[in-house]
Chains A and B, each alone.
Chain A
Amino acid sequence: MTVLPKWADAILIPLLSILISFVISGLVILYLGLNPFEALRLMVTGALGSSYGWGYTLFYTTNFIFTGLCAAIAFHARLFNIGGEGQATLGGLGVALVCLAVPWPHWTLALPAALIGGALFGAAWAFIPAWLQARRGSHIVITTIMFNYIAAALMVYLLVEILKPEGSMDPATRRFGPGAELPLFSDIFGLVGIPFSSSAPANISFFIALLACLLFWLLVWRTRLGYEIRAYGHSETAADYAGISPVRMIIIAMIVSGALAGCMAINSVMATERLVLNSVEGAGFIGLAVALMGRSHPVGVILAALLFGFLYQGGGELALWANIPRELIILIQGLVILFTGALDNMVRMPLERIFLMIRRPGRQGA
């Protein structure tokens, strides 16, 4: 029983939900004593007004594309992977270990190796909750939350006790060395003569994120495995009846999910050129908002990640120029998750009524 046309479901409802979130955020900004339109102007100038701003916006966008895809593939299997944060943390460890293991001669060698390292560590961290869900029936939401905290504690231990170089007070690894430096946008665009700020961290990982979106699309809608994952997500019993193993689906979907979260580290960790505490900075959770908003479709994920990248950079600028803390982004993120995720029906139900009225004129009162 689908009342809504496809475009309304895919575009209209998310747009309306985001609109509501933004109106509420605007009211909060108004309460904090700033004109919301002035705030928006500050954010747009800060995030999109210069190549420096764009460089940061796209840097964050890259992170959010990876974590968004991480949440999205799990959503397709109707799994709620709230552990993107921990998986990305472990991915960071994988990337750092790869980068520190050998003195890399060139980034073209370091990047694929780091990508594999990050993906493996992220996938491994997702595998345990996946196995526990599939084999022992432990609720994946709770186990992945627990694994976020375990990952955080593990990271503090490793950085403070083991990976920290001798004599350093800072809980961080040593620097990766010049061979693991990724080409920045200024290097890439410089090749074709377009000037780009060299102090912004956006780098080649952005294109890898876009490539990941393409592969994601191919996997989910163009392969047998993707079909099985979606079938499992739609109806576990039907999938089981069709010979699709639920255990296999849970484990595969979560491994892919964790690997995608782990891949985020090539952007966040390789750009800082060493592993620091809390390198993920909540991107794992933003991934949930991104996937919900993007309706678990790669194109939606890219757009939503771009929006959050803008919010992240713009919010930073807002904190700099107006007396509004960065936490505004967390609030907006919460509102977006609330309205596009949990309160979806609040927008959907009235909309369905309107569409019914349009479709059957004259039936009213009959």
Chain B
Amino acid sequence: MDFLTLLQVLDTTVRLATPLLFACLAGLVCERAGIFDIGLEGKMLASAFFSAAVAAISGSVWIGLLAGVMASVALAGVHGLASITFRGNQLISGVAINFLASGLTVLIAQDWFGQGGRTPSLSGGARFNEIKLPFADLLSGLPYIGQSYAELFSGHSLLVYVGFLTVPLTWWVIFRTRFGLRLRAAGENPEAVDTAGVNVIRLRYTAIAICGLLCGLAGVYLATGLQAGFVKEMSSGRGFIALAALIFAKWRPWYALFSCLLFGFFQALSFRPDVVKAVTSLDVPGQLLDALPYILTVVILAGFVGKAIPPRAGGEPYVKEN
């Protein structure tokens, strides 16, 4: 395998890791605050549809982005209502949200566009186009370093860069701010947070809103960056891979970056069976590569490779003492 092929695979890895990364960080914020969210998938899907649909109608990807994020935050609001206000089962609520999104997107898509549950193809200003970093063309002649710069670092859509910057941002917010400290405390010991006079309910709703925002960006990137338009079920399990990545990362932002890149790499490899065959000289079935993130997560969860301990109060509704 030559260097250029490697760069291509890594380039695809970055593209495919971005939606995982947004969703993974979304889950991180939410679960750190003590709310389990298996509805990442649904929020991502809803956002993908609404961003693509509104971008197609308005011709502006920015209005699309706003619509997508709003849809995702609205679903996050439902999750909050069910799991915080009405103290329902957070897992059941997440499952419900996945179905709501998967049903609604197709129904509305068919009603608005009549194309069998897809949106029209987006082009020009209706999608996030690739950004060429300065000097990319100039440096592309330079072997290795220049090539990497031109192929791997340059030429992604804006949201890819935003996604990677969200990692340090999330780390800073969660581990270096007062809000982050309270958020983590709400996920470990909400009684203590309450005793300190901080409103657990509001804290958790804030976390859920951030989760909605980030899931929204994941969906927007899927439909307007990675692909040019919405097709039904386009999130295709990414929300669950993100959840797997979150556990793999043991609920820490920098680890989340690496686990998302790893799972993105597997996805990229499953697109290039020829590369896998050339490198390993084994006929690895593509399905095995598809399933690898899930298998790895099970192995991690089983505690064979380190131990993944979730936030202690995760999944428990907080009931304030009277």
Chain A residues in the interface with B (C-beta under 8 A): 28, 31-33, 80, 82, 128, 132, 136-139, 141-143, 145-147, 149-150, 153-154, 156-157, 160-161, 285, 288, 292, 323-325, 327-335, 337-338, 341-346, 349
Contact = CB atoms under 8 A, between A and B. Distances in A.
A342 B93 contact: yes
Interface string B233-248: 0000100100110010
Contact of A327 (B81, B102, B287): B102
B320 interface: no
Contacts of B290: 149, 153
Contact of B294 (A146, A288, A292, A344): A146
A22 to B, nearest CB: 14
A156 B114 CA distance: 31
A146 B297 CA distance: 8
Given A338-B100, A341-B88, A142 B111 contact: no
A331 B107 contact: yes
A283 to B, nearest CB: 13
Contacts of A138: 298, 301-303
Contact of B287 (A154, A288, A337): A154
Contacts of B291: 149-150, 153-154
A147 B298 contact: yes
Contacts of A31: 111
Interface in B52-95: 78, 81-83, 86-93, 95
18 contacts: A31-B111, A32-B111, A33-B111, A82-B38, A136-B302, A142-B297, A146-B301, A149-B291, A153-B287, A154-B291, A157-B287, A160-B287, A327-B107, A327-B117, A333-B103, A334-B102, A337-B99, A341-B96
B303 A137 contact: yes
B247 A142 contact: yes
Contacts of B82: 338, 342-343
Contacts of A330: 99, 102-103, 106
B51 interface: no
Contacts, number: 153
A127 to B, nearest CB: 13
A143 B78 contact: no
B302 A132 contact: yes
Contacts of A154: 287, 291
Contacts of B111: 31-33, 323
Given A138-B303, A327-B117, A343-B81, A335 B298 contact: no
B294 A139 contact: no
B100 A341 contact: no
Contacts of B240: 145-146, 149
Contacts of A137: 303
Contacts of B104: 28, 331
The 7 closest A-B pairs by CB, nearest first: A331-B103, A334-B99, A342-B93, A330-B103, A138-B301, A338-B96, A153-B291
Given A141-B38, A338-B93, A136 B103 contact: no
B5 interface: no
B98 to A, nearest CB: 7
Interface residues of B, number: 48
A182 B104 CA distance: 37
B288 interface: yes
Contact of A334 (B83, B96, B287): B96
B97 interface: yes
A343 B106 contact: no
B198 interface: no
B295 interface: yes
B155 interface: no
B38 A145 contact: yes
B248 to A, nearest CB: 11
A349 B86 CA distance: 9
B177 interface: no
A286 to B, nearest CB: 9
B298 A149 contact: no
A196 B102 CA distance: 35
* Of listed A132, A139, A143, A161, residue having the most chain B CB within 10 A: A139
Contact of B243 (A33, A142, A342): A142
A259 to B, nearest CB: 21
Given A138-B303, A149-B240, A153-B291, A337 B298 contact: no
B39 to A, nearest CB: 10
B107 A344 contact: no
Interface in B284-313: 285, 287-288, 290-291, 294-295, 297-298, 301-303, 310
Contact of B88 (A33, A288, A328, A345): A345
B86 A136 contact: no
A42 to B, nearest CB: 16
Given A82-B95, A142-B247, A335-B96, A327 B103 contact: yes
B83 A342 contact: yes
B95 A285 contact: yes
B55 to A, nearest CB: 21
B107 A337 contact: no
B107 A136 contact: no
Given A142-B297, A343-B88, A345-B87, 13 more contacts: A33-B111, A80-B92, A82-B38, A138-B298, A323-B114, A324-B107, A327-B106, A327-B107, A334-B100, A335-B100, A341-B96, A343-B82, A346-B81
